[in-house]
Amino acid sequence: MSLYLEKYESELSKKFIKNGYVILKKKNLTNLKYIRSLIIKKSAQILGIKPPNDKASEKFLNNIHKDIKIKDLNNFRLKIIKYMNEDKNFKRNYFYSAKDLLFTLVGNELAMQSRVNLSIQLPSDKSSLLPVHSDIWSGDSPFEAVVWLPMVNCHSTKTMYLLKPEKYNKIHKNFSKYIGKSSLDFYRSIKNDVKWIKINFGEVLIFNQALPHGNVVNKENETRWSMNCRFKSLYSPYGDKKIGEFFEPITLRAASKIGMHYHLPKIND
């Protein structure tokens, strides 16, 4: 098969396939700062306090656990999700923060998840765990990729983990032995082979969501804030989550628009 890719495209693609993820450090933080300012503005409004200035943004988010109780966290999070997804420029900024990666690794005619997810993981909070899983196992298409944006610096137990592709390929061949096992049993069997993603605000992560991933209890003394959203090539196969229901087209090209509206001329006998 001949792939007419630029050298950097080919190298990035090989890296993504080999490692299961790619991290891009952004030179221009305009899109990411727009997103972070949204969640800070709403968070401060909910808490009834004055929003911090830009220099204090990370400190504010890292220490949000000092202002909110675990029992109130989910309601707090849902209010922010509603607010950011209703903002007319939010998803556009989310897409543009990862546009270069997406166009190279996924395609330039894209469908984007209709609602972006927000994760807030307070220190020692056991209610915000995402057990090890592959999105494909729950009906997602293998043609999707996840763009994961940290709103604070994430490391150690304050981040997510991803099973390395070469390790997953071995497990995949003998997956029947895990039938009847719990997600905890599965995690224990792979925990020495997972990659803990170290990523800072100002960087963008795109990862292969077919690979098992998840998080554990945040044992750091700071709160984790991250967002995740699925993207896929518009014309690639869909799983249980369909276009118009879960996904919406965002970069439809001229030839596609013409083709969708084209009808052969009628010839009268």
Per-residue pLDDT reduced to its tens digit, 195-204: 999 999 999 9
pLDDT digit string, tens, across residues 145-159: 999 999 999 999 999
pLDDT digit string, tens, across residues 100-158: 999 999 999 999 999 999 999 999 999 889 899 999 998 999 999 999 999 999 999 99
Q: Which helix (H) or strand (E) holds 84?
A: helix 70-86
pLDDT digit string, tens, across residues 8-62: 999 999 999 999 999 999 999 999 999 999 999 999 999 999 999 989 999 999 9
Beta strands in the chain (DSSP E): 21-25, 110-113, 117-121, 144-150, 161-163, 194-196, 203-207, 213-214, 224-233, 247-249
On average, the pLDDT of the chain sits at: 95
Query: Given this model, what pLDDT does residue 2 score?
Result: 59
First to last CA, the chain: 46
Q: Which of 30, 43, 125 is nearest to 84 (CA)?
A: 43
What distances in angstroms separate CA 229 from CA 59, 119, 125, 136, one per listed residue?
25, 11, 23, 15
CA distance 247 to 111: 6
The better pLDDT of the pair 119, 170 is held by 119
* The pTM of the whole model exceeds 0.85: yes
List domains and CATH numbers for the chain: 8-234+243-251 (2.60.120.620)
Pair of tokens at residue 48? 């009834």
Amino acid present at 148: W
